[in-house]
Structure 1
Amino acid sequence: MKKVKTRVVEFIGYFFILLFCYASISKIMDFENFQIQISESPLLSAYAAFLPFAIIILELIIAGLLCYRKTRNTGLIGSFILMLIFTGYIFFIIRTSENLPCSCGGILEKMSWHQHLYFNIGCIVISVIALGLNLRYSRPAE
Structure 2
Amino acid sequence: MKNILKVTNSDSQAYSENTDTALSPFRRMTLEVLACILVLLWLYTGLDKLADYNKYWHSMYLQVFPRSVLKIMVPAVPVMELGTAILFFIYRYRTLAYVLSLTLLTGFTTYVALIYLGYFPKRPCACAGLFEHMGWGGHLLVNGALTLVAAVALIIHLKGKGVKGTV
Fold similarity call, TM over 0.5? yes
Q: Which has the greater radius of gyration? A: 2
- TM-score w.r.t. the length of structure 2 is 0.77
Q: Does 2:45 align with 1:59? A: no
Contact 1:20-1:59 at 8 Å conserved across structures: yes
Aligned residue number for residue 47 of structure 1: 69
Structure 1 runs of 4+ off > 6 angstroms? none
Could you tell me which runs of 5 or more consecutive residues in structure 1 were left unpaired when the two chains were aligned: none
Aligned residue number for residue 57 of structure 2: 35
Report the CA distance between 1:48 and its aligned residue.
Answer: 2.4
Letter in 2 for 1:128: A
Contact 1:35-1:48 at 8 Å conserved across structures: no
Per-residue CA shift, 1:23-50, capped at 9, x if unaligned? 0111011111111111111235442222
Q: How does 1:77-116 map to 2 (within 5 A)?
A: 77-94=99-116, 95=118, 96-98=120-122, 100-116=123-139
Q: Does 2:142 align with 1:133? A: no
SS, match of residue 36 in structure 2: helix
Per-residue CA shift, 1:85-136, capped at 9, x if unaligned? 10111112222212x2111111111111111111111111111111111111
Q: Does 2:40 align with 1:18? A: yes
Contact 1:39-1:46 at 8 Å conserved across structures: no
Greater share of helix: 1
Report the CA distance between 1:63 and its aligned residue.
Answer: 0.5
Q: Distance in 2 between matches of 1:90 and 1:115?
A: 10
Q: Distance in 1 between matches of 2:46 and 2:124?
A: 17
Q: Distance in 2 between matches of 1:75 and 1:49?
A: 24
Contact 1:9-1:133 at 8 Å conserved across structures: yes
Could you tell me which runs of 5 or more consecutive residues in structure 2 were left unpaired when the two chains were aligned: 1-22, 163-167
- TM-score w.r.t. the length of structure 1 is 0.90
Q: Distance in 2 between matches of 1:3 and 1:40?
A: 47
Contact 2:42-2:85 at 8 Å conserved across structures: yes
Aligned residue number for residue 25 of structure 2: 3
Contact 1:38-1:48 at 8 Å conserved across structures: yes
Moved more, 43-52 or 80-89: 43-52
